[in-house]
Amino acid sequence: MRAPLFLLLGCIGLYASEALGGVVEKQPLNMEAISMFLTFVVATLGITYWAAKRTRNTKDFYTAGGGITGFQNGMAIAGDYMSAASFLGISALVYTKGYDGLIYSIGFLVGWPIILFLIAEPLRNLGKYTFADVASYRLKQLPIRTLAAFGSIATVILYLIAQMVGAGKLIQLLFGLEYEVAVILVGVLMVLYVTFGGMLATTWVQIIKAFLLLSGATFMAIAVMAQYNFNFETLFAKAIEIKGSKIMAPGALISDPVSALSLGIALMFGTAGLPHILMRFFTVRDAKEARKSVFYATGFIGYFYILTFIIGFGAIVMVYGNPLYLDMAKQAIDGGSPILGGDNMAAIHLSHAVGGDWFLGFISAVAFATILAVVSGLTLAGASAISHDIYTSVICDGHSDGKKEMKVSKIATIVLGALAIYLGITFEDQNIAFMVGLAFAIAASANFPILFLSMFWSRLTTRGALIGGILGLSTAIFLVILGPTVWVDVLGNVDPVFPYKYPALFSVSMAFVSIWFFSITDKSERAVREHDAFEAQFIRSQTGIGAEGANEH
């Protein structure tokens, strides 16, 4: 069994899967970690209770009443983004490949400035609860809402499966719990947070976790640097002694220009098309707070990636070859210096090396908390696509009262939770490394082009958005299936039909070109009306006049 581990947890599954692997062995019960994790669960359930009393209507449920500040939202966005995969996966990638880990993490950061410069403010000014609000603002509700909701739900479910499988394996490793128990625990807690506490509880769980993760990672990086008198030259020199000078330069991650561009496009535009990230922009009061959120989020995420780079090098000098963390059984078979639990455990072992059992327990608990927070955000985004977009806007044609819509979203949350548990258990031993890559490809090729063009291109029509969105979506899915990650790794064929791992360059181009073509050739009466409606939409997107929750005095 080739069990792809923690990378599955978050954003980076597909792209760095070569760095991860190893079979999970259940570990003895880790009491320090469990007690710290229980503290986190009790505290967050307390927050959920507090939030539940403040969650009365749909606005509270979807957007925490729109009262989150820019700083808080920036922290929560960073929390959504810094999954256990980013933390364990990127530090593992630095640990095994050195510089390639840094290249990889940079790709995840650079989408944020673009989101700020072009998307964040108009998105806040036009939307209410979901990004489909914006995409369908002047287009025909039924087809565009359905397509956007489908894009959201597909992204959320693919992400959720990856998170659940990763969560089960991580918890099995860190806490010594059974896989099924771990998956059910995560599923139940996330349903509790979301159904009772809505966006308010989800946001605060995310903020607390982001704070814990940043503090823990900061401590680790400082502890590593302190050993080398805060001199990078000596740290790197020692690491080169162990792993050779290749770790200081680009390796095999980016080998040809097409893959390079395609990966870059997937990461950039995919980030700007993730429903749980876009939803966060509606939790702040106005465009100004939305703008500030991205500034803080970019700072936190960039800082975090610099820390993971130091942590990866710290693991090279303090964990690699250390008999304490050596997997002797595996060494006897494969040779080399494999570490217990696989390369993804590099950061976890480093936490023990610099801080002993208690700090190991702390970092393990933070890793678990991270998963919980990320799946909660995903579930809320999925539930709102079902209740707000499908139920209220498509099925009821916009005529639903808030109470009913809330009820539907709570039922949707429970169904998504049950589905996540079921799929998490079903996919335990499957190779699912492609799933997060597929989620990013769908977000970049279907969600993002429609959202972006609906805000900036007056000629966009329902026909163009619908046909182009479907073509972008299907191109992304087909190219992932025919590419190396599914065709070869999952289906066992020798050569891929489509040679590149990352389809985004082709599927995103397909979406933009076909949206353009089917819009300009649309001569219907409806297309004329949609064009005429652009100006009013643009005024609102630019000034915020008429925006949801804006102060009109």
For 141, 209, 348, the CA distances from 358, given in Å and listed in that order, are 54, 18, 12
Axis crossing angle, helix 434-442 with helix 504-520, rounded to the nearest 10: 20
What is the 8-class DSSP label of residue 445? I
Task: Tell me, residue by residue from 245 to 264, as one string, x for binding to other proteins by CB under 8 A and - for no binding.
Answer: x--xxx---xxxx-xxx-xx
Task: Tell which one of 225, 240, 411, 414 touches other proteins (CB under 8 A).
Answer: 240
Interaction residues for other proteins, span 522-541 (CB under 8 A): 535-536, 538-540
User: Residue 288 or residue 403: which is nearer to other proteins going by CB?
Assistant: 288
- For position 225 contacting other proteins by CB under 8 A, the verdict is no
For 91, 222, 308, 354, 363, the CA distances from 218, given in Å and listed in that order, are 13, 6, 9, 12, 12
Interaction residues for other proteins, span 259-318 (CB under 8 A): 259-261, 263-264, 268, 288, 291-292, 294-295, 298-299, 302, 305-306
Interaction residues for other proteins, span 118-177 (CB under 8 A): 118, 121
What is the 8-class DSSP label of residue 23? -
User: Residue 257 or residue 398: which is nearer to other proteins going by CB?
Assistant: 257
From 61-69, 158-166, 197-205, 231-239, give the range in contact with other proteins by CB under 8 A: 231-239
The least distance separating other proteins from the CB of residue 260, rounded to whole angstroms, comes to 4
Q: What distance in Å separates the CA atoms of residue 213 and residue 105, rounded to the nearest whole number? A: 17
User: Residue 67 or residue 250: which is nearer to other proteins going by CB?
Assistant: 250
Axis crossing angle, helix 346-384 with helix 141-175, rounded to the nearest 10: 150
User: Residue 82 or residue 263: which is nearer to other proteins going by CB?
Assistant: 263
Q: What distance in Å separates the CA atoms of residue 111 and residue 272, rounded to the nearest whole number? A: 7
| Under 8 Å between Cβ of 454 and 465 | yes
Bridge partner list, 9: none
Interaction residues for other proteins, span 340-369 (CB under 8 A): none
Q: Which of 268, 276, 277 shows the shortest CA–CA distance to 444?
A: 268
Task: Tell which one of 29, 31, 106, 188 touches other proteins (CB under 8 A).
Answer: 106
DSSP letters spanning 430-443 = S--THHHHHHHHHI
| Under 8 Å between Cβ of 428 and 168 | yes
Binding residues for other proteins, total number by CB under 8 A? 55
The least distance separating other proteins from the CB of residue 292, rounded to whole angstroms, comes to 6
State the residues that interact with other proteins by CB under 8 A: 99, 102-103, 105-107, 109-110, 112-114, 116-118, 121, 232-233, 236-237, 240, 245, 248-250, 254-257, 259-261, 263-264, 268, 288, 291-292, 294-295, 298-299, 302, 305-306, 535-536, 538-540, 542-546, 553
